[in-house]
Chain A
Amino acid sequence: MELFLMTLTTGIMVGGIYALVALGWVLIYKCSGVLNLAMGELTLIGAYVSLSFYSMGFPFLLSLLFSLIIGFVLGVLTERIFLDRLIGEPILTVIMVTVGLSFFFKGIVELIWGTDTRVFTPPVFPLEPIHIGPLFIGQVYLWSFVAAIVLLFIFVGFFQYTRWGLAMQATADDEMAALSIGVSARFVYATAWAIAFMAAGVGGTLLGNINGLNISVGYLGLLVLPAVVLGGLNSVPGAIVGGIIIGVLQNLAGAYLDRYFPGGVKEIAPFVFMAVFLLFKPYGLWGWERIERV
């Protein structure tokens, strides 16, 4: 029972980070219809940038801020250079451009920062675990979860209450209608990419704090896919719930199934779950069902 509770809490906390990255993914999809397979590399870039600033001696929050700014700039640039021309192209073209981008970014990251694991030194969060009742929770997990939740609230508030956020909602809802009332769709696309870059950067930084930072943090970008499929591709609450469910599922599988199937169950479980889930509910929990007409 204790093991179960421990795994559950860890899963929820890691899931919070997944939810944050998944939010960025859903945002791009909702606003511009781009299915982004480069999410993992976006997390890598953000994480490495903030780690570089942190090792230069800047305080953690400041380096996170720098990484957000750089993420914003890179997001706008990526959208302008690569994806702006692809509006209305077939789905395979768009997906493969993001795959190309992911290779490009990954190659660049490896060229600049190498492939060795790097850690945030000195550690950002204290190492002693916190006791809550019978549970031990690493402070890294707890603070990462708190940070992820705070950012999630900031993003959701941004969509609900600011002018930019409302413009993005309008575009996601109906692009033609949004254009006709004077919302600039190109501006919205660029903002969506910028926000995705920023969310992914924060997610990567938090994950890098947990296990150290290397290329495999980019695997997170693939884990986002089961999360968004679970929640429904175009649902923001779905992304958050899906992220947390995937986090829990992954940790539960690691704790309980590893005995029966030794080896990488933890990495595979989300994908198996997703493949089975798709057979029964192809539009996820809250995704829009598309009715196709010939």
Chain B
Amino acid sequence: MSTTFLPCGVYHENYAQDHAWWQARFVKAKMILLCLLLFVAIPLVADAYWISVCNQIGYTLLGALGVQLLIGYCGQLTLGHAAFLAVGAYTSTLLILEFPWPQFLIDWGIAYPISIFIAAVVAGVWSVLFGLPSAKVKGFYLILTTMAAQFITVDFVITQYVSQIGGRGQAFSIPPGIIKVGPWVIDSDLKIYCMMLCLVIVCVVGLANLLRSRVGRAWVAIRDNDISAEVMGINIIKYKLLAFFVAGFIGGIAGAFWISNLAAVSPEHFPWFWSLWLVGVILIGGAGSIHGAVFGSMFMVVVMEVLQLAVIPLADTYPKLLMDFLFIKEAAFGLAICAFLLFEPNGLAYRWWQIKNYFNLWPFSY
């Protein structure tokens, strides 16, 4: 599903055109429309509730990108990605709360962006640490070591030790107004939304470009068959660890971003469930494409919100339903994963690709 057919009448005359991101004027127009939708239409039209839904989508997407890279592109199965989100979130929170920033950095509002970057690097290094077994094991065994990463990081190191720093007990509360980017204090959903868009665009563009470079092709080769990749002269340990680093890096950005949306950071925000959720997102969206991560996170977040909206009116007649919603959500998520894997194993991205090609080739689809 890699080739997208170009509309009739588009020819490439040199390599630059062949490698261009937007290969036809039509595509460029579509992208500009998309940008208008994201930057203008949604902030103008949507109310606070839907903006916060968008923020959730963005957070899920940032988390899922790393999982997509590891599972979809590098073939390294991971079920512990929430650990790296947690590392990112905690590093950033600790830096903001405890680090003696020079006053001018706080005034200029660079403290939080710097902490995001440091958090991303720390999460990346932490991820490499738990990616080390991938040099030796793969498949199911790798799943086990990444699970171990989740339990060791979140349930042990963070809950027992990191939470003790500063004597705050279980949760690190983030005072309002402390998170500042440049001149803006991030205090409303709309500002979080803008920050989310910037981060998502940077991450998506960065990852997409990385994936079509030598590094990305090496990852795909490792995914397809790591032994033949090694025979072709790819240093597979180096590239696997690089994949873990980049995935952890993006995960760290996601975690550090999400603290702007939280009143307090606690280990319950990063349960094992969330790791599985992220894997579910990319499977539903379609493994092996960035579109997949986008569609998957949109689908999952929106479906869950709609489910919740559907439950609320019913709650008057069945009050127990509201209490049980968490369980319904869990069961629905499980069933959705099963159903997608059984009936739509290529995910939503594959359908998107089909629809797009149908219109690109219309009316002569042969």
A residues within 8 Å of B by Cβ? 35, 82, 85-86, 89, 91-93, 95-97, 99-108, 110-111, 222, 225-226, 229, 233, 261-265, 267-268, 271-272, 274-275, 278-279, 282, 292, 294
The verdict on A267 contacting B151 (CB below 8 Å), with A96-B280, A100-B334 known, is yes
13 contacts between A and B (CB under 8 A): A91-B139, A96-B279, A96-B283, A100-B280, A103-B276, A111-B327, A226-B144, A229-B144, A261-B160, A264-B156, A264-B159, A267-B155, A271-B148
B334 touches A86 (CB 8 A): no
Bound CA–CA A225/B287 (angstroms): 25
Is B18 close to A, CB under 8 A? Answer: no
Max chain A CB contacts within 10 Å: which of B77, B159, B337?
Answer: B337
Query: B residues within 8 A CB of A261?
Result: 156, 160
Name B272's closest neighbour in chain A (CB-CB).
A222
Contact of B324 among A96, A104, A111, A222 (CB under 8 A): A111
For B208, list chain A residues within 8 Å (CB).
none
**Contact indicator B337/A103 (Cβ below 8 Å):** yes
A273 to chain B, nearest CB (A): 9
Candidates B148, B227, B330, B331; contact of A292 at CB < 8 Å: B227
Stretch at the interface among B19-27, B101-109, B171-179, B338-346: B338-346
B336 and A100 within 8 A (CB): yes
B79, B139, B334 interface centre (most CB from chain A within 10 Å): B334
Chain A residues lying within 8 Å of B60, measured Cβ to Cβ, are none
Q: Which residue of B lies closest to A100 (CB)?
A: B337
**Chain A's nearest CB lies how many Å from the CB of B285?**
13
Provide the bound-state CA to CA distance between A103 and B342, in Å. Answer: 16
> Which residues of chain B from 112 to 166 have any CB-CB distance to chain A below 8 Å in the complex?
133, 136-137, 139-141, 143-145, 147-148, 151-152, 155-156, 159-160
Query: Which residues of A have CB within 8 Å of B17?
Result: none
* Cβ contact within 8 Å between B330 and A100: no
Contact partner of A279 among B133, B329, B331, CB < 8 A?
Answer: B133
- Known interface pairs A97-B337, A292-B227. Does A108 touch B331 (Cβ–Cβ under 8 Å)? yes
Please tell me if the beta carbons of B338 and A97 are within 8 angstroms of each other in the complex: yes
Instruction: Give the contacting residue for A275; candidates B145, B227, B328, B334; CB below 8 A.
Output: B145
| Residue numbers in B under 8 Å from A282 (CB-CB) | 136-137, 141
Q: B152: which of A111, A268, A292 is its contact (CB, 8 Å)?
A: A268
The answer to whether A107 and B327 have CB atoms under 8 Å apart is: yes
State which residues 330-362 of B face A: CB under 8 Å.
330-338, 341-342, 345
A99 to B71 alpha-carbon distance, docked (Å): 16
B257-281 vs A, Cβ < 8 Å mask (1 yes, 0 no): 0000000000000000000100110
**Contact status B156-A275, CB under 8 Å:** no
The answer to whether A233 touches B140, judged by C-beta atoms less than 8 angstroms apart, is yes
Contact A279-B341, Cβ < 8 Å, known A105-B334, A263-B160: no
Number of interface residues of B (CB under 8 A): 46
- Min Cβ gap B34→A in Å is 30
**B231 on interface, CB distance cutoff 8 Å:** yes
**A292 and B338 alpha carbons, distance in the complex (Å):** 29
A278-B133 contact given A85-B342, A97-B341, A225-B147, CB 8 Å threshold? yes
A140 smallest CB distance to B (angstroms): 27
Give me 19 other A-B pairs in contact (C-beta within 8 A), A104-B331, A271-B152 excluded: A82-B338, A92-B77, A96-B279, A97-B338, A99-B79, A101-B334, A103-B334, A105-B334, A106-B327, A107-B329, A107-B333, A111-B324, A111-B331, A265-B156, A271-B148, A278-B144, A278-B145, A282-B141, A294-B228
Q: Is B225 an interface residue (CB 8 A)?
A: yes
Please tell me if the beta carbons of B156 and A263 are within 8 angstroms of each other in the complex. yes
Q: Which residue of A lies closest to B276 (CB)?
A: A99
Distance between Cα atoms of A280 and B71 in the complex (Å): 24
Q: Are A107 and B330 in contact (CB under 8 A)?
A: yes
Cβ contact within 8 Å between B148 and A262: no
Considering the chains assembled together, what is the distance between the CA atoms of A282 and B144 in angstroms? 11
Chain A nearest CB, measured from B114 CB (Å) = 32
Closest A residue, CB atoms, query B160: A263
**A100 near B140: Cβ-Cβ < 8 Å:** no
Closest to B143 in A: A95
Q: Is the CB of B151 within 8 A of A35?
A: no
Contacting B330 at CB < 8 Å: which of A82, A110, A271?
A: A110
Q: Is the CB of A96 within 8 A of B159?
A: no
With A261-B160, A264-B159 in contact, is A92–B71 under 8 Å at CB?
yes
Residues of A within 8 Å of B71, CB to CB, are 92
Distance to closest chain B CB from A39 (angstroms):
13
Contacts of A106 in B (CB 8 A): 327, 330-331, 334
Chain B nearest CB from A275 CB (Å) reads 4
